[in-house]
Structure 1
Amino acid sequence: MSFTALSLHPDLLAALPAQFQVPTAVQQQALPSIIAGQDVLALAPTGSGKTLAFGLGLLQQLTAALNESTDHTNALTAPYSRAHMRAVVIVPTRELAAQISEVLAPLAHSVSLRLTTLCGGVDVEQQVADFNEQPAQIVIATPGRLLDLLKQKLISLKAVQHLVLDEADRLLEMGFWPDIQKLMAAMPALQQQLLFSATLPVELEAQLQELAPNAQRFAVGSQNSVVEGVAQTCYLVNKGSKAQALIALLKESLSAQQVLVFINARDNADALSKRLNKAGILALALHGEKDQVEREQALLAFKNGDIKVLVATDLLARGIDVTALPVVVNLDLPPSAPVYVHRVGRTARAGLTGMAISLVCHGEAQALAAIRELTGEALPLQTLAGFTVTDQPASEARSKRAPRDKKANRRNMTKRTK
Structure 2
Amino acid sequence: MLDTKKRNLNGGSHAKSEAIKKKVKHASPPTNDEASPKPSPTPAPTREPEAIGETNGAVPKSFHELGIIDSLCDACTALGYKAPTPIQNEAIPLALQGRDLIGLAETGSGKTAAFALPILQALMEKPQPFFGLVMAPTRELAYQISQAFDALGALISVRTAVIVGGFDMVPQSIALGKKPHIVVATPGRLLDHLENTKGFSLRSLKYLVMDEADRLLDLDFGAIIDKILKVLPRERRTFLFSATQTSKVQALERASLSNPLRVSISTNKYQTVSTLLQSYVFFPHKMKDHCLVYIMNEFASKSAIVFTRTVNETQRLTILLRALGFGTTPLHGQLSQSARLGALGRFRARSRNILVATDVAARGLDIPSVDLVLNFDLPENSETYIHRVGRTARAGQSGHAISMVTQYDIGIWQRIEAALGKKLGEYETEKEEIMVLGERVEDAQKMAVREMKDLHEKRGTRGATLRGRRVGRGGGGKRGRDEMDREEG
In the other structure, the counterpart of 2:104 is 43
Distance 1:39 1:240, change over 3 A: farther
Structure 1 residue corresponding to 2:276, chosen from 217, 220, 230: 230
Deviations 1:248-293 (A, max 9, x none): 1112x21231111111101110011111111221211110100011
Structure 1 residue corresponding to 2:195, chosen from 148, 151, 166: 151
How many equivalent pairs are there? 370
Mapped contact 2:308–2:359 kept (Cα < 8 A): yes
Mapped contact 2:229–2:256 kept (Cα < 8 A): no
In the other structure, the counterpart of 2:74 is 14
Deviations 1:293-341 (A, max 9, x none): 1111111111111112110111111111122111111111111221111
Match of 1:246, SS state, is helix
- Structure 2 distance, partners of 1:280, 1:106, is 36
How far has the Cα of 1:380 moved from its partner?
Answer: 4.3
Distance 1:355 1:372, change over 3 A: same
Task: Kindly indicate whether residue 398 of structure 2 is the aligned counterpart of residue 353 of structure 1.
Answer: yes
In the other structure, the counterpart of 1:32 is 93
- Structure 1 distance, partners of 2:280, 2:206, is 46
- Structure 2 distance, partners of 1:174, 1:321, is 20
Please show how residues 72-91 of structure 1 align to structure 2 within 5 Å.
84-91=129-136
In the other structure, the counterpart of 2:294 is 248
- Structure 2 distance, partners of 1:322, 1:136, is 26
Match of 2:218, SS state, is coil
Higher RCO, 1 or 2 (CA under 8 Å, sep at least 6)? 2
Match of 1:88, SS state, is strand
AA in 2 matched with 1:153: T
Deviations 1:105-147 (A, max 9, x none): 12223234322211122221012113313x2111111111111
In the other structure, the counterpart of 2:11 is none
Match of 1:169, SS state, is helix
Deviations 1:186-225 (A, max 9, x none): 1024522211122334664444444436321111133321
AA in 2 matched with 1:16: C
- Structure 1 distance, partners of 2:102, 2:268, is 12
- Structure 1 distance, partners of 2:260, 2:424, is 34
In the other structure, the counterpart of 1:297 is 342
Task: Kindly indicate whether residue 288 of structure 2 is the aligned counterpart of residue 219 of structure 1.
Answer: no
Moved more, 187-196 or 375-384: 375-384
Answer with 1 or 2: which has the greater Rg. Answer: 1
AA in 1 matched with 2:125: A
- Structure 2 distance, partners of 1:322, 1:10, is 27
AA in 2 matched with 1:243: D
In the other structure, the counterpart of 2:416 is 371
In the other structure, the counterpart of 1:398 is none
Match of 2:245, SS state, is coil
Moved more, 281-290 or 360-369: 360-369
In the other structure, the counterpart of 1:61 is 122
In the other structure, the counterpart of 1:339 is 384
Moved more, 107-116 or 162-171: 107-116
AA in 1 matched with 2:192: D
Deviations 1:6-43 (A, max 9, x none): 22222211222342131111111011111112111111
Distance 1:156 1:240, change over 3 A: farther
AA in 2 matched with 1:144: G
How far has the Cα of 1:382 moved from its partner?
Answer: 5.4
Deviations 1:362-409 (A, max 9, x none): 322343233223333422455643179xxxxxxxxxxxxxxxxxxxxx
- Structure 2 distance, partners of 1:288, 1:249, is 26
Match of 2:119, SS state, is helix
- Structure 1 distance, partners of 2:135, 2:317, is 32
- Structure 1 distance, partners of 2:333, 2:88, is 32
Match of 2:94, SS state, is helix
Distance 1:304 1:59, change over 3 A: same
AA in 2 matched with 1:150: L
Distance 1:315 1:333, change over 3 A: same
- Structure 2 distance, partners of 1:371, 1:161, is 41
In the other structure, the counterpart of 1:404 is none
Mapped contact 1:237–1:383 kept (Cα < 8 A): no
Q: Can you give the 5+ residue segments of structure 1 that lack an aligned partner in the other structure? A: 67-74, 76-83, 389-418
- Structure 2 distance, partners of 1:384, 1:203, is 43
Moved more, 167-176 or 139-148: 167-176
- Structure 2 distance, partners of 1:255, 1:375, is 29
How far has the Cα of 1:346 moved from its partner?
Answer: 0.9
Q: Can you give the 5+ residue segments of structure 2 that lack an aligned partner in the other structure? A: 1-59, 436-489
AA in 1 matched with 2:67: S
- Structure 2 distance, partners of 1:223, 1:127, is 40
- Structure 2 distance, partners of 1:301, 1:193, is 35
Moved more, 368-377 or 122-131: 368-377
Please show how residues 164-179 of structure 1 align to structure 2 within 5 Å.
164-173=209-218, 175-179=220-224
In the other structure, the counterpart of 2:457 is none
Structure 1 residue corresponding to 2:355, chosen from 305, 310, 317: 310
